Amino acid sequence: MSKASRLLLLSAALLAPLAGLALSGCAADPARAPLAAIPSAGAAIQEDDSPSSNYGLFLAGEAALHGGRPEDAARYFARAAQGAGDQAAADQDLIREKAFEAAVMAGDIDRASGLVPADPAGPAPAQRLARLVRAVDALSEGRNKEANAILTAPGGGAAFNGGITLLRPWAAAAAGDLQGAVTQPGAPAPRLTRLSAQESQAMLYERAKRYDEAETDYKALTGNPQLGGLYVLSHGAFLERRGRAKEAVALYTDALQRSPNDRDLKRALARAGAAKRPPAMLTLKQGAAKAMTAAAELALVDKQINEGDIYLRLALRLDPQRDEAWVLLGDIRAASDQQQAARDAYGHIGPSSPNWPEARQRVIASYQAEGDNETALRLVSDLIKVEPSDRDALIAQADILRATDRFEEAVKVLDKLISDNSGGPAGWALYFERGTALDRAGRWADAEKDLLKALTLQPDEPDVLNYLGYSWIVRGERTQQALGMLQRAYLAQPDSGEIADSLGWAYYNMGDFKQAVQRLERAVSLSPVSAEITDHLGDAYWRAGRKTEAQYQWTRVLTLAPTPELKTAAERKITSGLTPAVAASTRS
């Protein structure tokens, strides 16, 4: 299961969704945004701006840490620590703690181990992190009894509890403490942490050749109605290792009914169906790294970004080849708009890895985020040469083609995706994407068929209701039906500026300028930097007799990076207003 899919399942369980298939409103193009809920955190500090004072270095380190640049933060804090000799002891301790945290997040565990806060009366979070880092450092170097002793020592607190809880059984197993290896966390632990711990328990039971107990745990996990899909691959691999490939095939096949395009499930099904060698059991270090990665996933779902970052670095200390950790680390950097750092993380996954296509797609998305669509298109074309039937790669190619106004080419790619039934019947999103591409290519009759098909498959989808309803309104077709659709879309997504704009523009075109002004004012409040929506409000004000306000809105349009056509129209309206000879603006 892809990392995005895992995070979606986990976040749904916490009612805190991160990201998924995000289809933008109104006439905008669909877009995908993995981990969109991770907040962006400020602009990078340039090397030339590096401060010279100790206080300035500390502030620069704080900004870099919160801006998703732990390597810069570690450098700033290290320099601050060097110059902290004359400062008060409390200040020295604070700088040392920050340097320690930044070193962990930068992946420099050796340096972090030398900076571990030694004051037992220091802040509890720093002490808990220090405990975790020391344990990981010991495990990575084979000092297993030391690691186990660190993790089982007295000392409570909530900070980093998920990571300590999930790591402890693997440290116990490495130290030969078989009972400690299969001890489940108590009731106070969050439900998702308990499930991840149960997966570790199943793996450790298998290592101890307690196969019946391992299977009991796996069945409980995959039988979970909400999150069972997270554990199918582990359960199936266990069945394959037990010589029960047919049962594994049945498990994978059932899971594919729910996730027909999941790459990992397809690979597992092909392997089990051909009775090929099953995946080996994880080593103790690999299992510990998997536990740290699971802790990171849970932290990210809970929007604890720095904590997730730390867990991933610790996972990679234990297993530098942990692909999932590199992918998630890259996602964190991309969400902080550190695109080159994100690409560096994704680049750790080589072509021989089954996760390489997913990593390459994220590299491609990073170039898109920088507006470099030509590089993104070249890379996705190269990926498709290697993986010609990869649906995600083809969808990415179609998205980039549409972003570069190559709509007919995008339609051809989407034709292939829709006609290919290997992943099951095409869903509403593909018809919606092709419909928007056909519309932009000037083929409205074909576009309308696809949009209606998408609406048939997903009758209450706000984006489809919005696009089709708006398209009918601007064409003067089915206006009452279109108005009803836009009202439904608005009720479903009242905080969407584009949908509020569509509804307001519907009222405008039907001559109800009072309602149009009300809806378009709401739209502008939700999307204040949209030149198009601002232009619509200006038109509505003019028709409602509020001409001074209309002139103000049209003037604002010129400050909001309008298209050349919209700029020309706004300038004309500022001079002449709206007359029967000047058409009302329409959405490009």
Structure tokens, 381? 């074309």
Structure tokens, 45? 């500090």
pLDDT of residue 346: 96
Task: State the number of CA atoms in the 13 A half-sphere of 166 facing the CB.
Answer: 31
Question: Does residue 23 lie within any of the structural domains?
Answer: no
Question: Does residue 311 lie within any of the structural domains?
Answer: no
pTM above 0.75, yes or no: yes
For residues 226 and 228, give the distance between their C-alpha atoms in angstroms, rounded to a whole number: 6
pLDDT of residue 202: 96
The owner of tokens 């004359």 is 86
Would you say residue 491 has pLDDT above 70?
yes
Which tops the pLDDT comparison, 519 or 336?
519
34-43, 93-102, 373-382 — which one is most confidently predicted on average? 373-382
For residues 12 and 123, give the distance between their C-alpha atoms in angstroms, rounded to a whole number: 33
The total domain count for the chain is 1
- Of 473, 500, 478, 475, the C-alpha closest to 489 is 500
Over residues 444-467, the pLDDT tens digits come to: 999 999 999 999 999 999 999 999
Quote the distance between the C-alpha of residue 240 and its chain's center.
32
pLDDT of residue 6: 63
For residues 5 and 230, give the distance between their C-alpha atoms in angstroms, rounded to a whole number: 9
Q: Are 363 and 372 in contact (CB under 8 A)?
A: no
The owner of tokens 């060698």 is 277
For residues 469 and 457, give the distance between their C-alpha atoms in angstroms, rounded to a whole number: 16
For residues 309 and 313, give the distance between their C-alpha atoms in angstroms, rounded to a whole number: 6
Average pLDDT over residues 111-140: 76
- In which band, very low, low, confident or very high, does the pLDDT at 384 lie, cut at 50, 70 and 90? very high
The owner of tokens 């986990």 is 10
Q: Are 563 and 534 in contact (CB under 8 A)?
A: no
Over residues 281-298, the pLDDT tens digits come to: 999 999 999 999 999 999
pLDDT of residue 585: 44
Average pLDDT over residues 174-199: 83
Which residues fall within 8 angstroms of residue 156, CB to CB, at 6 or more apart? none
Would you say residue 437 has pLDDT above 50?
yes
DSSP string for residues in 323-363: HHHHHHHHHHHHHTT-HHHHHHHHTTS-TTSTTHHHHHHHH
Average pLDDT over residues 421-438: 87
Q: Which domain CATH number covers 508?
A: 1.25.40.10
DSSP state letter for 118:
-
Q: Which range marks the domain in which residue 507 is found?
A: 464-588
Burial bucket for residue 85 (CB in 10 Å: 0-12, 13-18, 19+)? exposed
- In which band, very low, low, confident or very high, does the pLDDT at 183 lie, cut at 50, 70 and 90? confident
pLDDT of residue 390: 86
- Cβ neighbours of 577 (radius 10 Å): 14
Average pLDDT over residues 350-361: 92
Question: Does residue 491 lie within any of the structural domains?
Answer: yes
Point out which residues pair with 32 in neighbouring strands.
Answer: 21
Question: Does residue 162 lie within any of the structural domains?
Answer: no
Which tops the pLDDT comparison, 311 or 26?
311
pLDDT of residue 23: 28
Amino acid identity of residue 347, one-letter, is G
Task: State the number of CA atoms in the 13 A half-sphere of 290 facing the CB.
Answer: 19
Burial bucket for residue 538 (CB in 10 Å: 0-12, 13-18, 19+)? buried
pLDDT of residue 370: 94
Q: Are 48 and 60 in contact (CB under 8 A)?
A: no
- Of 492, 496, 490, 536, the C-alpha closest to 517 is 536
- Of 290, 283, 292, the C-alpha closest to 135 is 292
* Rg value, the chain, Cα: 28
- Of 33, 17, 44, 5, the C-alpha closest to 369 is 33
Question: Does residue 520 lie within any of the structural domains?
Answer: yes
Point out which residues pair with 209 in neighbouring strands.
Answer: none
pLDDT of residue 11: 52
DSSP state letter for 22:
E
Over residues 19-47, the pLDDT tens digits come to: 332 222 333 333 323 333 333 333 343 44
Structure tokens, 301? 């779902």
Question: Does residue 64 lie within any of the structural domains?
Answer: no
| Own/partner long-range contacts of 133-138 (Cβ < 8 Å, ≥24 apart) | 133/100, 133/104, 133/109, 133/314, 135/164, 135/167, 135/171, 136/109, 136/167, 136/288, 136/292, 136/314, 136/317, 136/318, 137/109, 137/113, 137/317
Quote the distance between the C-alpha of residue 434 and its chain's center.
24
- In which band, very low, low, confident or very high, does the pLDDT at 187 lie, cut at 50, 70 and 90? low
Question: Does residue 356 lie within any of the structural domains?
Answer: no
Question: Does residue 76 lie within any of the structural domains?
Answer: no
